[in-house]
Structures are given as structure tokens and as C-alpha cells.
């Protein structure tokens, strides 16, 4: 098999699920409060992946408007049966357990069928030998008086057409006793039904365990070598490994697709890009799967992506709790994207913001902004309490550019005044200079830069550890994009440069 890069899908791509149909693989990942939600990636060689669409493209499919931070689209599972693709997911702290379906995985997907009696997260979908669909899920309650209660791994038969529950809920107590048993997936192989779960939490204690039974409904026998995968207590460059899904290749090899993080710094404590999608090889020994450690093999070289902001936005752009189209201004300027500010900022639950995933450890984004009588610029977001931004505000014959770094309970601000007219703004994540131990500990440094009138202004250099999986309060990752605070703000010349050096 050709060497497969790791991560498979860099940047904010957690909780992956995979299915192979013929010679083609499809992966979906979590998106939480962002729309469009649940990207669908396709590959025929496991090396090159193309985002072909998103499952959730219409607000009514997910109803995220009132979903709190850290809620929303959690842990989708993708499966295929009788010519139909299914994605089952929990809209946590919101709509609940929903099954979407489509004939073409690129979409469109339907509005989804609600399985209202399932209280839990991370649902898996499979069918027994008689064709009855059953959902296996983690019994973590995310709404109501029992919020936070965990009832272990559970399972129930369902009618996918109506969302009706067809059986009593079955309790499947498996694993090694680690906290938060979650991410269950059920597979059939050689007459055995295997139940794979994650446990230990999605942080450094994350792991994967396996059990099996002759009956898909159990009882299940735990594997003799659990956990079959974990990075806890090791110095491996990929940590938090867990939440896996298995897939068999056409030549009979098996792979696990899973999440992990890439911590940096002298003590490897901060992961700037959040949880990403990785893979590892799996062997079957005496009827049990054994997984190799997850190796780090990022794609080499530098990547440059230039986007014509005058063209329609592709499916890689995201907005917060609403669609990117909903924040675009009716004012059209050739070669530019214009956003209409609403008098709110990045701390709003639904800011006027459209962004893309940061995909590399070292990365920069540049854009030219025209503000006239308006205010807006570039921002990098983890959630509404954790973001850095550099924004320009038109004030007659001058423009004021302000850099702002916001973390819970703290805000740093720096400003400069430049001549009126277009301003180039840049957000750059770079390795810190090794001048002191503290600078060596962090993940990176984020520079907030403005250029106008032939002069470059580095307004701030901010420690990047606050924008990391270990520090921010959400489960997402860095999303870098365009923000409008007030008025019609026009953006031209998006340029992204990235590398994993």
C-alpha cells in the first residue's frame, strides 16, 4: 500500500467516521456550532482527499441557533446500505439524535429523521442479519434535569424511516472502566460481532477498547489486550488517540481512522490545531484486532492557497450558528467579498464571520480590506470567549487598525493609525524564538500585522497556547476568517500559506 500521510485530514476535523463503497472511501467529521456542518471527504487511495460537500447545508437540518458552545454536531457516523448513504449524529444540547440520508454523498442530504427516544451521544448505525437497523450509542445525557449523567454504552432497534424505537434499550457494559465510554462502532467479521469504543476522555487519557459477541446485541466479551490503542503516558508525537472507526481495504488490509492531536513545545502541552483525523494499521490475531501506534507523517513542503473572493464561496467556508450566505452584504464590488456588520463582534454567539480551518502548524493568512465608513478584518476563533483579531476601522481621512487578543477574563489591545484606503491585514502562526524556556513551552506565537502606505506594523505577538485544544473551552479547532463589525466591509486577495515545519 502507498505510504499514507498522517494526519489524513489536518486541522479541525475531529471524531472521524469512515465507510468504503467499492474502491472509494468517505469520511465525515464533527463541526459543533459551525455551518455548513459535517464535511464529506472522498478518496480512492487514502492519500489524496477531496471535500465533496457537507451533510448539513440548511439551518433547519441542525437547528443550531440556540445551541450553546461545545454543543451542536457531535461525532457523526457514516454508513452505506442498499444504495443509500446514512449519517447518524447527535445535535448535542439541541435537536438530539438525527439520521440523515442521501443517494449521492456529495448531497443534497435530507432534513433528517429524529430518533427522539435516544438520550446520548456518538451514535453508531448497523443492521442485524434480518435487516433490522440498530443504533449503539454512549449514554451521556446532554439536556434536561439529568444533564451530565452517563449510563454507559447502550443500544436500541430503530425504524430509520420514522425514527420510532422498536425495542427496549439494551445496556452493553464494556471497556476497561475508563471515564466517558463513548464512540461505539459495531462490525461483523467471520461470524463475530465486534464492539469498539473509546474511553478515558478525549484528552491525554484517550484510548480504544474492543469486545465481541456472536450476537450483535451482546453480551460482549472484552478483548484480552484492552486498550488496543492509546498514547497515554508516552512521548509519541500524536497524542489523545481514540474515537476510532475501522475500514477494510479492497486488498484485505484493515485501517483504523481516529482522532488525535499534535502537541508542540518543549513539554508538548499545547495543540494549536485541535483534534485532527489520523489513521493507523490494524491486524487480526486470534480473532482480535491489534492496532499499531499512530505515527506522525505530515505532508511535506509548503502550501499556498489563493482564493478569488469575488467568486462564490466553496463548501470549505464556515460561519457560526448560521450559513456563510446569511452574512454576505447585497453590496457587490468586483473581485471582492463584502460582509455587512451588525454592530456585534467575535464575542457574539453568531458573529458576522466566515472562516476556514487552519491546516498547518505554521500558517499565515493575508487579505486586503476596504472599510471606508465601516469596521472589519481578520480573526482566528476557537469560540466566542477565545479569539484573536486584527481589524481596520475607517475614520474619514485615516484608518485605525486594532489588534485584539481575547481569552476568558483577559484582553490585550494594540492600535495604529494609517492613511485611509486599502489595508493589508495578516494573521501568522509561527514557531516562537527559543530565547527563554517560557517561549519554548508554548505551541506557537500569533502575529497580528497591518500594512498600509508601504509600511508594515506588527501590532502584537501573542502566545498561541490560549488558542489550543488544551486551553480553550470548546472541542473545535482554529478557524481563520473574515469578520465585519459594522457597515459594509470588502475583502480581496485571500492568501493562505502553510507548512508543518
- Cα Rg of the chain, angstroms: 23
For the stretch 136-191, pLDDT in tens is 999 988 888 888 888 899 999 999 999 999 999 999 988 898 999 999 999 999 99
Q: How far apart are the first and last CA of the chain?
A: 26
281-284 contacts, C-beta under 8 A, 24 or more apart: 281/253, 281/254, 281/255, 281/256, 282/246, 282/254, 282/255, 282/256, 283/254, 284/189, 284/254
Is the pLDDT score of 370 beyond 90? yes
As a whole number, mean pLDDT of residues 192-217 equals 96
pLDDT at position 149 is 86
How far is residue 275's CA from residue 130's CA, in Å, rounded to a whole number?
37
Q: What's the mean pLDDT when you consider all of the chain?
A: 95
How far is residue 31's CA from residue 39's CA, in Å, rounded to a whole number?
8
38: left (phi over 0), alpha (psi -120 to 50) or beta: left
C-alpha count within 13 angstroms, C-beta hemisphere, residue 357: 26
For the stretch 258-306, pLDDT in tens is 999 999 988 889 999 999 999 999 999 999 999 999 999 999 999 999 9
As a whole number, mean pLDDT of residues 319-347 equals 95
Tell me whether residue 332 is one of the annotated catalytic residues.
Answer: no
Q: Provide the whole-model pTM.
A: 0.96
The domain ranges of the chain are: 17-291, 303-499
Which pLDDT band, with edges at 50, 70 and 90, does 435 fall under? Answer: low
pLDDT at position 326 is 95
409: cell is 477574563
Q: 410-449 b/e with 16+ CB inside 10 Å = b?
A: eeeebeeebebeebbbbbbbebbeeeeeeeebbbbbbbbb
**Dihedral (C-alpha) 160, 191, 170, 209: value to the nearest 10 degrees?**
-110
pLDDT at position 441 is 85
Which pLDDT band, with edges at 50, 70 and 90, does 332 fall under? Answer: confident
pLDDT at position 436 is 61
How far is residue 4's CA from residue 20's CA, in Å, rounded to a whole number?
16
- Catalytic, out of 122, 182, 461, 463: 182
Class of residue 406 by CB neighbours under 10 A (exposed 0-12, middle 13-18, buried 19+): buried
Which pLDDT band, with edges at 50, 70 and 90, does 58 fall under? Answer: very high
Residue among 95, 51, 65, 12 nearest 355 (CA): 12
pLDDT at position 1 is 54
CATH level 2 (architecture), domain 303-499: Sandwich (2.60)
Only one residue has cell 443509500, namely 84
As a whole number, mean pLDDT of residues 362-375 equals 96
- 472 or 259: which carries more pLDDT confidence? 259
- The answer to whether residues 367 and 494 touch, using CB atoms and an 8 Å cutoff, is yes
As a whole number, mean pLDDT of residues 303-314 equals 96
What percent of the chain is modeled with pLDDT above 70? 98
How far is residue 15's CA from residue 243's CA, in Å, rounded to a whole number?
6
Q: What is the DSSP string of 438-488?
A: HHHHSS-EEEEEEEETTEEEEEEEEEGGGGSTTTSSSS---EEEEEEEEEE
pLDDT at position 348 is 96
Only one residue has cell 448539513, namely 56
Q: Say which residues have a Cβ less than 8 Å from residue 278's Cβ, sequence separation at least 6.
A: 6, 7, 8, 238, 241, 257, 258, 259, 260, 294
As a whole number, mean pLDDT of residues 37-61 equals 97
**Residue 235 vs residues 260, 263, 266: alpha-carbon distances, Å:** 14, 10, 12
Which pLDDT band, with edges at 50, 70 and 90, does 338 fall under? Answer: very high
- The answer to whether residues 82 and 40 touch, using CB atoms and an 8 Å cutoff, is no
As a whole number, mean pLDDT of residues 430-439 equals 74
As a whole number, mean pLDDT of residues 48-59 equals 97
How far is residue 143's CA from residue 68's CA, in Å, rounded to a whole number?
11
- The answer to whether residues 279 and 293 touch, using CB atoms and an 8 Å cutoff, is no
Residue among 128, 28, 131 nearest 78 (CA): 28
- 322 or 142: which carries more pLDDT confidence? 322
Strands 254-261 and 239-248 come out as antiparallel
How far is residue 499's CA from residue 360's CA, in Å, rounded to a whole number?
5
Class of residue 95 by CB neighbours under 10 A (exposed 0-12, middle 13-18, buried 19+): buried
Other CB atoms closer than 10 Å to residue 290's CB: what's the count? 16
Is the pLDDT score of 469 beyond 80? yes
Which pLDDT band, with edges at 50, 70 and 90, does 427 fall under? Answer: very high
Class of residue 392 by CB neighbours under 10 A (exposed 0-12, middle 13-18, buried 19+): buried
As a whole number, mean pLDDT of residues 223-242 equals 96
Domain boundaries 17-291, corresponding CATH code: 2.115.10.20
Is the pLDDT score of 337 beyond 60? yes
Torsion sign over Cα 95, 99, 102, 107: positive
**Residue 144 vs residues 93, 147, 178, 428: alpha-carbon distances, Å:** 9, 6, 25, 42
**Dihedral (C-alpha) 38, 43, 48, 54: value to the nearest 10 degrees?**
-20
Only one residue has cell 509600511, namely 455
As a whole number, mean pLDDT of residues 56-71 equals 94
325-328 contacts, C-beta under 8 A, 24 or more apart: 327/352, 327/353, 327/354, 327/484
pLDDT at position 132 is 97
Residue among 366, 361, 321, 351 nearest 478 (CA): 361
Tell me whether residue 470 is one of the annotated catalytic residues.
Answer: no
How far is residue 35's CA from residue 162's CA, in Å, rounded to a whole number?
26
**Residue 135 vs residues 109, 428, 486: alpha-carbon distances, Å:** 20, 44, 46
As a whole number, mean pLDDT of residues 428-448 equals 83
Amino acid at each position: 500500500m502507498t505510504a499514507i500521510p498522517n494526519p489524513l485530514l489536518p486541522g479541525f476535523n475531529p471524531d472521524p467516521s469512515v465507510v468504503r463503497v467499492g474502491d472509494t472511501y468517505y469520511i465525515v467529521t464533527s463541526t459543533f456550532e459551525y455551518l455548513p456542518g459535517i464535511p464529506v471527504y472522498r478518496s480512492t487511495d487514502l492519500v489524496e482527499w477531496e471535500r465533496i460537500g457537507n451533510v448539513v447545508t440548511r439551518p433547519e437540518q441542525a437547528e443550531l441557533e440556540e445551541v450553546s458552545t461545545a454543543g451542536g454536531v457531535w461525532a457523526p457516523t457514516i454508513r452505506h446500505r442498499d444504495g443509500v448513504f446514512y449519517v447518524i449524529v447527535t445535535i448535542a444540547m439541541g435537536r438530539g439524535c438525527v439520521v440523515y440520508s442521501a443517494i449521492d454523498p456529495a448531497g443534497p442530504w435530507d432534513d433528517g429523521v429524529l430518533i427522539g427516544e435516544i438520550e446520548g451521544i456518538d451514535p453508531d448505525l448497523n443492521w442485524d442479519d434480518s435487516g433490522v437497523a440498530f443504533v449503539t450509542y454512549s449514554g451521556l445525557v446532554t439536556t434536561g434535569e439529568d444533564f451530565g449523567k452517563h449510563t454507559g454504552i447502550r443500544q436500541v432497534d430503530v425504524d430509520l424511516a420514522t425514527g420510532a424505537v422498536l425495542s427496549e434499550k439494551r445496556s452493553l457494559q464494556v471497556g476497561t472502566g475508563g471515564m466517558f465510554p463513548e464512540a461505539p462502532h459495531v462490525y461483523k467479521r467471520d461470524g463475530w460481532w465486534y464492539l469498539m469504543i473509546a474511553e478515558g476522555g478525549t484528552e491525554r487519557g484517550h484510548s480504544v477498547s474492543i469486545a465481541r459477541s456472536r450476537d450483535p446485541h451482546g453480551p460482549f466479551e472484552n478483548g484480552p489486550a484492552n486498550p488496543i490503542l492509546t498514547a497515554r503516558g508516552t512521548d509519541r508525537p500524536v497524542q489523545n488517540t481514540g474515537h476510532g472507526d475501522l475500514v477494510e481495504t479492497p486488498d484485505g488490509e484493515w485501517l483504523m481512522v481516529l482522532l488525535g492531536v499534535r502537541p508542540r513545545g518543549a513539554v508538548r502541552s499545547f495543540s494549536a490545531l485541535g483534534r485532527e483525523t489520523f489513521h493507523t494499521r490494524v491486524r487480526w490475531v486470534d480473532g482480535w484486532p491489534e492496532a499499531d501506534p499512530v505515527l506522525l507523517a505530515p505532508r511535506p513542503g509548503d502550501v499556498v492557497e489563493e482564493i478569488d473572493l469575488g467568486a462564490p464561496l466553496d463548501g470549505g467556508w464556515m460561519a457560526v450558528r448560521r450559513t456563510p450566505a446569511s452574512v454576505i452584504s447585497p453590496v457587490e464590488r468586483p473581485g471582492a467579498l463584502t460582509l455587512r456588520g451588525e454592530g456585534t463582534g467575535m464575542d457574539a454567539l453568531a458573529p458576522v464571520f466566515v472562516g476556514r480551518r487552519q491546516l498547518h502548524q505554521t500558517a499565515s493568512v493575508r487579505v486586503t480590506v476596504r472599510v471606508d465608513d465601516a469596521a472589519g478584518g481578520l480573526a482566528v476563533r476557537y469560540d466566542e470567549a477565545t479569539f484573536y483579531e486584527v481589524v481596520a476601522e475607517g475614520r474619514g481621512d485615516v484608518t485605525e487598525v486594532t489588534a485584539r487578543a481575547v481569552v476568558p477574563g483577559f484582553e490585550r489591545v494594540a492600535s495604529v493609525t494609517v492613511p485611509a484606503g486599502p489595508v493589508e491585514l495578516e494573521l501568522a502562526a509561527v514557531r516562537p524564538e527559543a530565547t527563554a524556556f517560557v517561549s519554548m513551552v508554548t505551541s506557537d506565537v500569533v502575529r497580528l500585522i497591518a500594512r498600509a502606505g508601504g509600511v508594515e506594523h506588527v501590532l502584537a505577538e501573542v502566545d498561541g497556547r490560549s488558542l489550543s485544544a488544551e486551553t480553550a473551552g470548546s472541542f473545535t479547532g482554529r478557524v481563520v476568517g473574515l469578520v465585519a463589525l459594522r457597515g459594509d466591509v470588502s475583502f480581496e486577495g485571500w492568501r493562505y500559506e502553510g507548512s508543518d515545519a
